[in-house]
Each structure stands twice: as structure tokens, then as C-alpha cells.
A and B are shown apart, each in its own frame.
Chain A
Amino acid sequence: MSSIVVDHASRWFRNVVALNDVSMTIGPGVTGLLGPNGAGKSTLIALMSGFLAPSSGSVTLDGEPLWRNEQVYRRLGLVPEREALFDHLTGRQFVVACGELHGLPDPGAAAQRAIATIEMTEAQDRSISTYSKGMRQRIKMASALVHDPAVLLLDEPFNGMDPRQRLHLMELLRTMGAEGRTVLFSSHILEEVEQVARHIEVVVAGRHAASGDFGAIRRLMTDRPNRFVIRSGSDRTLASVLLADASVRGVRLRPEGGLEVEASDFGRFSEVLPRLAREHAVRLHEVTPTDESLESVFSYLVSS
């Protein structure tokens, strides 16, 4: 059982702050690191895998610093986001080489085990240059698993995978978490994270925005105020009846026609709107959420 402790870690590149005073503990089980692109997820994973020094604060694995400490890789496996591999090798040669670099007593057997785990046995003797994106992702996984590490860090592992491979990797991560390994993976897709991770850490704009079990994070994300643009047969009538309802926080008539509505309770609003429209005989032409983008969800989390 190993854990990574990030203690008030910040990282800046010249005058750009990539990570701002982040503290978190990643323990056994699967943790999802969620955040929009550019939020600092990769920076955080680089800190946790010893490939970046914190500008201030500390990052440790079981009390040992990760920076300039190659011995930590005996217990840690890393699946980087970048695609590049040793393309001139076959999958098997690559994983065996990784086993040798880890100083394993029987790298061949360890490679076979790792390759079987990620179901690449059939393609293992093909050159990596012929692999699809998903196969590359899996052979990267095998290279990170070859020494049976207690900690596994994966940077955007689901990128480029087809749905079947995705399900398989999710299953694999769940199994490894259940075995007591410390597994952390990053993603910018909430649905992806909550299918696998028991625990979620949210990073937005370099800050640690939220932390908790996926139910709590899900509620945080869906209970925020939502904005909609509504076009209807009678905007003014609809505006007045909507404003009377507790789920609506504000209504504005748009000069070009239509209504802008801010709802504080999405669940209730989605039920109230059609009912009120029917009761007052207002025909709804269009209901469009205006801030459904992930970025707006995340920025709400930061401000709350």
C-alpha cells in the first residue's frame, strides 16, 4: 500500500503559474484526476512521477521525494500521454526491454504477464509502428505494469481508444484498484472518470477545485445555476410565469427575441418548464442550454 502526498505544491514556468498551492493525498484504489485541458493535470502527474520539480511545496511517495530519485520507479509505473514509443521494436521487445531496465530477474516472463494483462498477446510480435492508437496505449500500459508497481499513474489513458478498449481499460483499472494498488488517471471527461474512480480530484486553472467521492462531485457539477435561451410563442407570458417559480433565478427578454433564463435547480427547472408552458398555452420552439461546456462547469466549481 503506497500513497503519494502532494503538500502545498506549486509549479510555475517563468511567470506562468501551472499549478497553484495544491495539496492532496492519493491513496490505494482508483483516483480520477479531472479537469479541462490545460488545467494542470499533466503538470501534476509530472510532479507525481518525478519528471518535474515543484517550485515550492513537496511531492512524496511514502515519504520519499519523487524528484531526482530514480529509486521510486521500482514502485511506480507511468503511462505518459505522448504517443511516441520505440517504433522500431515489436511490442514484446519493448516490454521486455522495460523489464530489463527495471532489473527484473526474468524480464521475458514479466513481459508476457504484462502483455497478457492488457490483452496484446496476439499483436506482441508486430512492430510498434504498425499499432493503432489504442494498441499503443495498451503497450504503454504493459511497459508501466511490467515491474508490478504499487503505484500506477496514467495521463489521459482513454484518449484515442475505441469504446471496447475503453471498457477493457476501465475494468483493468478497477481490478488494480481493488488489488490495493494506488491508481491515478487523468481525464477531462466526467462520465469517464466516474465510471472507474471511487475518488475524484478536480483541478481547474492550476488550482485544486474539489475533492471527494464521485457522487459529491457529480452533485456539485449538476446543481450549479444553468442558463438557457428559450424561444416560445409568447416570451413575455412565459417570462412572468417562470419568474414566479422558485427554480428560476432570473429572466431577461432578449432584444432579438427569446428569453434568457437562469435556473438555480436544474432538476426542478426541467420539470417545471414544460408544465408551466402547457398550463399557460405557450408553445416552446426552442430550449438551448448556453453554458453546458465543460469549461463553464469547471469555472463554476472554482468560484464556489
Chain B
Amino acid sequence: MSSLSAPVHRTVVRLGVRSVFGRWRGVLLFALPVVLLALAVLVRVLVGQDRLAAESTLYGLGLVVITPLVALLATSGLLAPEIDDGSIAYLLATPVPRWQIVTSKLVVALGCVVAFAAVPMLVAGLVLRSDDPTLALGFGLGALAGGAAYCAVFAWLSVLTRHAIVIGLIYLLIWEGLLGGLLSGIRWLSIGRWSAELVDRIGGVFLVDDLPVAYAVVALVVVTALATWRTGVRLRAFNLTGDE
């Protein structure tokens, strides 16, 4: 049974891709990077190659808004609707290991992060600062790592509660956005700040104060792995009629 020991199940991936793009949410996924690229071109045309303008565009729009939104849209399109309408039963009433369903879904979400956040960030970085490709690379990799952690956490939320999108948005807006701006201590508990620290290190910029890069990397890896594992555990004990 080679297909059972593979890290992902091809069929689950294929069904996942179709369910992400089979809904109107899929259109939003295309719109977000277009906004980023359009703004990058605009800034480059109006301001020219400017370090501050490039950083605030890539950080303020790309890393803080586009990356988590892409992760949220992709993940919530993958799990939450199937759980809501019960069609996840057709995936679960099979001998496919539950962790494999989770990793397959997350691979699709991660593919969305690469296509609609990380690569657009890289391209936007190159548009804004064609003289400094490491900046673009830093933001691209930061978006990838942060996006992966967001996907895993949002997937976990999707199997825990029907209000995953709302809670995800509250986390992003209130915790990372509002409180993150007021209380510097939140940097220790914020996926956005961890990925920003990664950008600092690779891209040679200065987005976050006083956060060891080793901590940021370990935190991103631990959160991604933990959330993935817990999602699998939760899916293994899935109640089909729990809401009746």
C-alpha cells in the first residue's frame, strides 16, 4: 500500500484543488496578489526605488494583509465548507489515514500560499527594488513560512469550531493588528512577527525589534507541526451528527 504511506493522498489533493477554485472565494485568491503587484508597480512608478516605500508596501500590505488572508481563504475553502455541509463524510468514510487527509489539504493550502502570496511577494519585491533581490527573497520566504503556519492554525480552527473564519480574522485584526501595535510583548506570540523576523534576517531589513531569529524559526515550525497534528487528531474523532 504505497499510496497509504505517502505524505499526501493524490485524490484528496485533487479534490481539494477543485474545492478551493470551485467557489467564488477562489476568485479572491487571484485578486489579492493582483492588488499587491498593482501597488508595487504604482509605487515604483511614482516613488522610484525607495527603501522605505518598498518595505512598507511589502510589509504593510504583503506580509500583514495578503499572506494571512490568502492562507485564511485557502484553508477555509478546504475544510470548513465540507465540515459544514457534511460532505467531508465522503473523505472520512474511507480507510485513508486522517493525518494524510490533513497533510493533503494543507499541501493544497500551501500551494495557494506559494502561488498567491510568496511568489507575488518575490515579484513585487523585485519590481520595487530591482537593485536589492535579497529583500525580495526575504519577503518571499517570510510569506512562505508565515503562510504555512497560518494555514496549519486556520485548519485546526476549522475542525474545532464553525466560526473559524471569524476567529481567524479576530486573531489577525485584534491580536496581531491592534494589540500587536500597542503591546510589543505580542511579538513572542504572533505568527506575523515571527515571519517578519525571518524577513529581517534574510532580507536585511528591520521590521521587528528584539526577537531572536532562532526563536522565530522554532516557533513557526512548532506551531505548524502542532496545529497539523492536532487537526489530524480532531479529524480522527469527527462527529458527523454532533450538531443535531
Q: How many A-B residue pairs have CB under 8 A?
A: 90
Stretch from B164-172, B211-219, B235-243 that touches the partner: B235-243
| CB of B10 within 8 Å of the partner chain | yes
- Bound CA span A89–B15, Å: 9
Interface size on A (CB < 8 Å)? 35
Interface, chain B (partner A; CB < 8 A): 1, 3-4, 9-12, 14-15, 18-19, 22, 85-87, 89-98, 236-242, 244
The reply to whether B9 and A89 form a contact with Cβ atoms under 8 Å apart is no
CB closest residue in chain A, given B237: A68
Name the residue among B14, B85, B92, B241 with the largest chain A CB count within 10 angstroms: B241
- Bound CA span A102–B90, Å: 11
- Bound CA span A100–B9, Å: 9
A101 partner, pick from B22, B94, B239, beta carbons under 8 A: B94
The reply to whether A52 and B86 form a contact with Cβ atoms under 8 Å apart is no
- Bound CA span A83–B86, Å: 8
A155: shortest Cβ distance to chain B, in Å? 9
The reply to whether B86 and A101 form a contact with Cβ atoms under 8 Å apart is no
The reply to whether B96 and A80 form a contact with Cβ atoms under 8 Å apart is no
The reply to whether A88 and B19 form a contact with Cβ atoms under 8 Å apart is yes
- Bound CA span A94–B22, Å: 14
Chain A residues near B93 (CB, 8 Å)?
A: 49, 51, 73, 76-78, 144
A231: shortest Cβ distance to chain B, in Å? 42
Chain B residues near A89 (CB, 8 Å)?
A: 15, 18
| CB of A98 within 8 Å of the partner chain | yes
CB closest residue in chain B, given A99: B11
B96: shortest Cβ distance to chain A, in Å? 5
B115: shortest Cβ distance to chain A, in Å? 19
Q: Which of A38-55 contact B (CB under 8 A)?
A: 42-43, 46, 49, 51-53
The reply to whether A51 and B19 form a contact with Cβ atoms under 8 Å apart is no
Q: Can you name 22 A-B pairs with beta carbons within 8 Å? A: A49-B93, A49-B240, A51-B92, A51-B241, A52-B239, A52-B240, A52-B241, A53-B239, A68-B237, A70-B94, A73-B94, A74-B95, A83-B85, A84-B85, A84-B87, A89-B18, A97-B14, A100-B10, A102-B94, A102-B95, A103-B96, A144-B93
A13: shortest Cβ distance to chain B, in Å? 8
CB closest residue in chain A, given B93: A78
The reply to whether B92 and A86 form a contact with Cβ atoms under 8 Å apart is no
Chain A residues near B242 (CB, 8 Å)?
A: 13, 52
